[in-house]
């Protein structure tokens, strides 16, 4: 685990998954069918448990300009700047369960922000798993 400092807010728009984990692939496919395919699109996934413990999952793209998601009829949210506890999962596609295992470790950190969410930041064959820390706390 390493501390990762996100120096600026990241605005994203998203497609919610109908279920977790089975609906993840479909959510990304729907998002990709609505938004023109372009090289170097920054891809994220966001998740958190609702009040009943059900995992809410959203496949997301970074906005390239303000209001881009609205143009496609999609909702948006902000990945807030600040300190995150993180871990890089190399070659995640060869063992997708690594992502869930990584978040299980990250979520044990005593200073995670109860209003934050799990962030998957896709970087080529790797994914950076991040959970926001309570502002003012250190890793």
Question: What would the pLDDT profile of 70-99 be if each residue is shown by its tens digit?
Answer: 999 999 999 999 999 999 999 888 888 899
Question: What would the pLDDT profile of 3-41 be if each residue is shown by its tens digit?
Answer: 999 999 999 999 999 999 899 999 999 999 999 777 678
Query: pTM of the prediction?
Result: 0.92
What average pLDDT does the chain have? 91
Structural domains of the chain sorted by starting position, each given as residue range(s) with its CATH number in brackets: 2-132 (3.20.80.10)
Percent of the residues in the chain that have a pLDDT greater than 90, as a whole number = 73
Contact 118, 83 (CB under 8 A): no
Collect all residues with Cβ–Cβ distance below 8 Å to 63 and sequence separation of at least 6. 11, 12, 13, 69, 76
Burial of 131 (0-12, 13-18, 19+ CB in 10 A): buried
- 13/53: higher pLDDT: 13
Dist. CA 47–CA 24, nearest whole Å: 11
């Amino acid at each position: 685990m390493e501390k990762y400092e996100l120096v600026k807010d990241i605005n994203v728009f998203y497609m919610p998954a109908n279920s977790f984990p089975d609906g993840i692939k479909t959510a990304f496919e729907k998002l990709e069918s609505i938004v023109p395919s372009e090289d170097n699109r920054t891809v994220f996934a966001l998740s958190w448990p609702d009040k009943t413990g059900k995992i809410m999952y959203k496949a997301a793209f970074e906005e390239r300009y303000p209001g881009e998601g609205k143009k496609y009829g999609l909702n948006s949210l902000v990945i807030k700047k600040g300190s995150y506890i993180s871990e890089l999962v190399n070659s995640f596609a060869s063992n997708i369960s690594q992502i869930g295992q990584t978040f299980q470790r990250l979520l044990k950190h005593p200073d995670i922000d109860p209003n934050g969410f799990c962030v998957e930041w896709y970087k080529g064959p790797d994914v950076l798993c991040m959970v926001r820390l309570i502002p003012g706390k250190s890793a």
